[in-house]
Chains A and B, each alone.
Chain A
Amino acid sequence: MSATPVLETDGLTLFFNSVAAFSDVSLSVDEGEIFAVIGPNGAGKTSLFNVISRVYRPARGTIRYLGADLLRLRRAQIAGAGIARTFQNLGLFGNLSVLENVLIGRHHLMRSGTLRGGLYLGFAQLEERSHRAAAMEALEFVGIAGVAHRPVHILPYGIQKRVELARALAMQPRLLLLDEPVAGMSTAERGEITTLIRRMHERGYSIVLVEHDMGMVMQVAQRVLVLDFGRVIALGTPGEVQRDPRVIKAYLGAQLEEEAAV
């Protein structure tokens, strides 16, 4: 048998005011795998992320992270456990600089408290310097070290998306949850981010990817889970999923509706 999965959910169900956002989602993500969750708009993909990162509490089901019960951790303990995420609508701290945003990602790795920070003597200085270096490394990895000292809110959307990636990497996670990393980007930018995600995969991170862009998912993911109206309708390799008639119907149906709406 293979080792314990990094992430494993069983029968996961979430309600919003008695309407199911998703129900009975069972999945398991292996170490070092890129696992994609796809589905039409409103299928419950982001809600699934929000449950895994403890923003929402599920009605039923279990989440195991490296074999341990994830629901026993509080939200602020998730980062320390080694889970980092990005946000579909950006979860950046707009008035702070890019570097500061990335450094906040390293909050759980640092130790200086109020007193040591305020006095800024030996330990705090050393710690600050080494973590700044690590944060700059993450910024170089995603290719935006040049804007490290700019406030985030003045930067274009594509750069902000990269700040999110850098911040997630700087958290030194074992599991990365990426929520629509290429949404709203140009084709060229999509290509660059896809390459970045491949390089992250090569570095050994386990990645769960929520994405709308089928082409990108098919290029990078090892396995794909398809959600439709909160239910799992397919799970398999990109090739298998693409041929699944239910998936074709769900996507085609959505497309037809979109066309009808135009």
Chain B
Amino acid sequence: MSSEVRVLGRTVSAAGLIAAGSVVAAAALTVALPFMLNAFWLSTLVFILIYAIAALGLNVLTGYTGQVSLGHAFFLAVGAYTAKVLGGDHQLMALIWIPAAGVVAGLCGLIVGPVALRLRGLYLAIVTIGIVFIGQHIFLNVDSLSGGPQGTAIPSVQIGAGAQCQPSCSVDFSQGTSLGGATIDHNALYYYLSLFILVLGMLFVRNLVRTRTGRALQAVREREVAASLMGINLVRTKLAAFVISSFLAGVGGALFGSYLSFVRPQSWDLILSISFVAMIIVGGIGTVWGPLLGAIFVAGTPTVLNHYADSVPFLQHGSSSGGLSINEFSSIFYGALIILFLVLEPRGVVGLAGRAIALAQRLARGPAIPPSTPLPSQQSA
């Protein structure tokens, strides 16, 4: 009944081997995905990754610090327009304008923060709705920044030494490139870039929430007075959460705009903000994996529904004269899915995954052994 194996001179349990094996397989799959999917699915995946970057930020603010914000769309917009000004108007490198988009959005968070710090709970949520509306008004009226209602182009990502040595040592993400015979197209390039940034962001957040500042964020979420008596500066801690959140939103916004290549002020609306809140709640609030899982659900589901709704017989294309169109059908289905899902599993996809893992462990241990530990080891923070 021994489930242990010796690998490289160390004793490893079978479960550990399986776990390590699945991590390696998942990583390999993640890298190989662009070569396995067509443009439609790959592009969906790029949007999911970009959304996940921004949702990761909101999760720091709302999930870990407990400050509900519906203003996330504004900070994405700031990131996109920073990209436009630095990358488009001033022709700077993407290596500069991507982080700069985060920094400028972070600074905006720092400015909005003091207003928000005085408020709690839903008061804060509604004031952040105000930020979205005021932001949209500004973008609609300042043509030099946003192109006004007509919108503006956002530069594509370019990496390399610039014009002197094209095309050998520079990559324009809107064109694609080839590497050792394999063609890596526009979608794949954005996929790898977004994936890289998302992984960095997730590592950062994971480390953060396990160390001093991250614990302070969570202490503020749980009990403000007790937190301050532990020496935690509430103002500084909440501001830190705002800045991290806006930074990631800014980076996400710059990528979003750049991938779309053209944005209008109308895109940065409350619906966008709400979908980020939906992502972190559906994914699993206050968890490292929640934003990605939520982005897959929130950004992926409507696309999948639209894609497959073609085969549902009673649906009509277009919706001018009433009758259930594909869009409406998938919206109804999607809304109902959110309701059903949260009623059944309020902790989100992460909660669901936790149950699945617990179930798998119980099955792996075999039915003969009674559950000796009363609680499955909880995922730390």
Chains A and B are bound partners: yes
In Å, the complex CA distance between A77 and B210 comes to 23
Q: Does B208 contact A (CB under 8 A)?
A: yes
Given contacts A107-B212, A112-B212, A151-B378, contact A118 B229 (CB under 8 A): no
B231 touches which of A77, A113, A117, A124 (Cβ 8 Å): A77
A114 touches which of B213, B231, B377 (Cβ 8 Å): B213
Contacts of B252 in A (CB 8 A): none
Residues 198-233 of chain B, each 1 if its beta carbon lies under 8 Å from chain A, else 0 = 000000110110111111101100110111111111
* SS class, residues of chain B in contact with chain A: helix
Contacts of A8 in B (CB 8 A): none
Interface-forming stretch among A15-23, A92-100, A186-194, A236-244? A92-100
Q: Does B240 contact A (CB under 8 A)?
A: yes
Task: Check if A114 sits within 8 Å of B232, measured CB to CB.
Answer: no
In Å, the complex CA distance between A94 and B381 comes to 12
Of all chain A residues, the one with the shortest Cβ separation from B222 is A93
Task: Check if B208 sits within 8 Å of A118, measured CB to CB.
Answer: yes
Which residues of B47-104 have CB atoms within 8 Å of chain A's CB atoms? Answer: none
Of all chain B residues, the one with the shortest Cβ separation from A128 is B211
In Å, the complex CA distance between A100 and B212 comes to 10
B240 touches which of A114, A116, A119 (Cβ 8 Å): A114
Q: Does B352 contact A (CB under 8 A)?
A: no
Contacts of A118 in B (CB 8 A): 204-205, 207-208, 211, 213
Of all chain A residues, the one with the shortest Cβ separation from B208 is A118
Contacts of A96 in B (CB 8 A): 215, 218-219, 222, 381
Task: Check if B211 sits within 8 Å of A124, measured CB to CB.
Answer: yes
In Å, the complex CA distance between A75 and B231 comes to 8
Interface size on B, residues (CB 8 A): 34
Task: Check if B226 sits within 8 Å of A87, measured CB to CB.
Answer: yes
Task: Check if A117 sits within 8 Å of B226, measured CB to CB.
Answer: no
Task: Check if A55 sits within 8 Å of B230, measured CB to CB.
Answer: no
Given contacts A95-B218, A151-B378, contact A104 B204 (CB under 8 A): no
Task: Check if A107 sits within 8 Å of B232, measured CB to CB.
Answer: yes
Interface-forming stretch among A35-43, A58-66, A78-86, A252-260? A78-86
A-B contact list, 12 entries, CB within 8 Å:
A55-B225, A75-B229, A76-B229, A97-B381, A105-B230, A107-B231, A108-B231, A111-B212, A112-B212, A113-B213, A118-B204, A171-B231
Residues of A whose CB lies within 8 Å of any CB of B are: 53, 55, 75-80, 85, 87, 91-97, 100, 103-105, 107-108, 110-114, 116-120, 124, 127-128, 149-151, 154, 167, 171
Q: Which 8 A-B pairs have the closest CB atoms?
A: A108-B231, A79-B231, A91-B226, A117-B211, A120-B207, A93-B222, A118-B204, A118-B208
